[in-house]
Amino acid sequence: MFFLNKFSEKMKWKLLVGVATVLVILGLLFFTEQGRKYAITLGSLTRSLTSNVGNFIGSFVKVSGKEFSLELNLNKEAIHGQSFSFSNAGFEVWGKILSLKIDGKTWETSEKIKIELIGSGEISVGNDGKLKLKADANLLKFDSWKTSDVKVELEIMPENFLMNNAKADLINMTSASGNATKKIEEIELKVDFERANLKVENFFGTIEVKEKLRLVGTATSLEINGKKI
């Protein structure tokens, strides 16, 4: 019992000495010139460290959303409902013309024909598969006939088409089947899916439609059924 009392007494003294030491240090920090300088330096160091950590996290987020190579091989119907633009590039399509205007003048034809142009414009593909094109063509060809520097408005039921320098801020497909290959530097990931909701952000590249739909280029985001890949 005497030993326990002596031990308790020693612990009390150690506690008092510890509290006193802390008070002395606080006093030196806040009530002396040198202490205040040290406190300011310590605060600056803390803020600097916090700032650097924030910058690191920001950099990591930027890296995780950087551009990557992308290839999509999908069912042909997946392109229905999508829109793309192109600039100073080639576009060609083969199919049955539904309507055609060149420099505002309507041309009557219902034949299946191959159309080629070089220029800038945009296309949209309806849910019924019809393709609408509006473009400024530096060169326009209908089979063997050709002209230059014209404005073209076209609606066609395409059997196939090819588009270079295709650009889309957002591709949003609701029933895509096939596979996606994403590549960043030496890391490559391939995913197969059926009737998936597919979202691609900031796509730029080539689009080819034949028996299947193929997109090859770059993007900044790929999402399948709500999950980022």
Task: Check residue 186 and give its pLDDT.
Answer: 87
Residues in the chain: 229
Cβ proximity of 100 and 109 under 8 Å: yes
pTM beyond 0.95: no
Task: Check residue 215 and give its pLDDT.
Answer: 98
Q: Which residue has the tokens 């290959």?
A: 181
Q: Residue 181: CB partners within 8 Å, gap ≥ 6?
A: 70, 71, 72, 188, 189, 190, 191
Q: Which residue has the tokens 């391939």?
A: 190
One digit per residue, the tens of pLDDT, for the chain of length 229 reads 433 344 345 444 554 545 455 554 545 444 555 544 444 443 443 344 333 433 433 333 334 468 999 999 999 999 999 999 999 999 999 999 999 999 999 998 878 999 999 999 999 999 999 999 999 999 999 988 999 999 999 999 999 999 999 999 999 999 999 999 999 988 999 999 999 999 999 999 999 999 999 999 999 999 999 999 8
Query: What are the Cα distances from residue 179, in Å, to 136, 167, 170?
Result: 34, 20, 18
Task: Check residue 32 and give its pLDDT.
Answer: 55
Task: Check residue 143 and give its pLDDT.
Answer: 85
Query: Taking every pair of C-alpha atoms in the chain, what is the biggest distance, in angstroms?
Result: 115
| Strand pairing category for 68-75 and 212-219 | antiparallel
User: Which parts of the chain are beta strand (E)?
Assistant: 68-75, 83-102, 105-107, 112-125, 131-142, 145-184, 187-209, 212-219, 221-224, 227-228
